Amino acid sequence: MELESLRVQRAKSLSFRWEWLLLVLILGAFFVNVRLSPYFWNYRSFMDALSVFLEAGFMVFSMVMILVAGDIDISVASIAALSSVLMALSHKAGLPMGLAMLVALGVGVACGYFNGFLISRVPNLSAIIVTLAGFSLYRGIAYVLLGDRAVSGFPSWYSYLAWGYIGNTGIPFMLAAFFACALVYGLVLHRTAFGRKVFAIGTNRTAALFSGVPVARIRQILFTLNGLMAGVTAIFLTSKLGSSRPNVATGYELEVIAIAVLGGASPSGGKGSIFGACLAFILMRLLRYGMGLRNIPGQVMMVAIGVVLIGVVMIPNLVMSRKKRTVVS
């Protein structure tokens, strides 16, 4: 009993330390970059740099929840591509842009619901298998619909979503939307009964089930939410590109999962935080922006990011093993 409470305490202090660690890394990366490049600290460029790739950031929140519940979803980027293509096609067919954006969200919800339905209602179907199928299926449909063509011709106001600023504050609209989303997801995951149930499912699914947690329904909701966020990504990404093609958002699923994990979410469930994911996103951006300003070749950047990921994720293990040693001796 005592041992158990000790373990819980240690886990708590660790997750507390995790976000501090990310903060320290962010500050470190910031100051190193400021010293290295005269262009790094320029308010406008800095804000712009944070919103590069931000469209994918919207999927990170729902992905954190899915990881916390002990599942995974690798079909999100494909859902985003299909949403983008169907939104573009429906606008081209004469639908007003506002409604076309609802189409994008609807497609996301439908794909996510389908994933969630199979995963939570069909026995013995794991999330990785279903979403791996979805990974091919949804992008495949996008290719069938559009082939190698691109669709463009959106109204000019639509480009505001990805390129506009709030008044003359220099804050990109997308960045504000990102943090608003973070707030909502943070409250839902960390401050509501629903969020606690998500953690319960990820910690021990069977125990949660026998404690009366509606496991199937909650997993269903989580995957549907992830689809919805893929639709949000599609809206912002299409605005950023000014056109749509079936190959948009290629590889985004891995980046999204990487950021969620770097933010402290555990792929084995029961751990994760929205705040941590935000910090991880900022850290990743700072590293990439800093290296970009130094014109470091893309391949080298990939290696560096990989090393950072492994290094940071390994830190708690190193700390833990040191602690254990001190306890023993």
Residues within the interface to other proteins (CB under 8 A): 21, 24-25, 28-29, 32-33, 35-36, 39, 42, 45, 48-49, 52-53, 143, 147-148, 150, 152, 159, 162-163, 240-243, 245, 247-251, 287-302, 304, 307-308, 311-312, 314-315, 318-319, 322
Shortest reach from residue 143's CB to other proteins, in Å: 8
> What single string gives the DSSP state of each residue in 63-79?
HHHHHHTT-----HHHH
| Residue with smaller CB distance to other proteins, 2 or 148 | 148
Q: How far is the CB of 75 from other proteins (least distance, A)?
A: 18
What residues does 172 pair with on adjacent strands? 165
Residue with Cβ nearer other proteins (114 or 236): 236
Q: How far is 124 from 192, CA to CA, in rounded Å?
A: 29
Taking each helix axis from N to C end, the angle separating 274-293 and 54-68, rounded to the nearest 10 degrees, works out to 140
Distance in Å, CB of 318 to other proteins, minimum: 5
| Shortest spacing between CB 179 and other proteins, in angstroms | 20
129 or 254: CB nearest other proteins: 254
Query: Which H helix or E strand runs over 151?
Result: strand 151-152
Q: With H, G, I as helix, E, B as strand and everything else as coil, classify residue 201.
A: helix
Strands 151-152 and 243-244: antiparallel
The residue among 87 and 287 lying less far from other proteins, judged by its C-beta, is 287
Other CB atoms within a 10 A radius of the CB of residue 194 amount to 13
Give the residue with the Cβ less far from other proteins, 21 or 222: 21
Smallest gap from Cβ 197 to other proteins, in A, equals: 34
Identity of the residue, 20 or 194, whose beta carbon is nearer to other proteins in the bound complex? 20
| Residue position matching structure tokens 């990487």 | 258
Give min distance, CB of 126 to other proteins, in A: 28
The amino acid present at 229, given as its one-letter code, is M
Which strand (E) or helix (H) includes residue 10? Answer: helix 2-36
Quick check: helix, strand or coil at residue 220?
helix
Q: Nearer Cβ to other proteins, position 1 or 310?
A: 310
Contacts by residues 313-319 (CB-CB < 8 Å, ≥ 24 positions apart) = 313/261, 313/262, 315/21, 316/14, 316/18, 319/14, 319/17
Residue 6 or 302: the one with the smaller Cβ distance to other proteins is: 302
- Minimum CB separation from other proteins for residue 171, in Å? 16
Cβ distance 130 to 118 under 8 Å? yes
| CA gap 277, 63 in Å, rounded | 10
Within 211-273, where are the H helices? 215-241, 252-262
CB of 239 to other proteins, least distance (A): 8
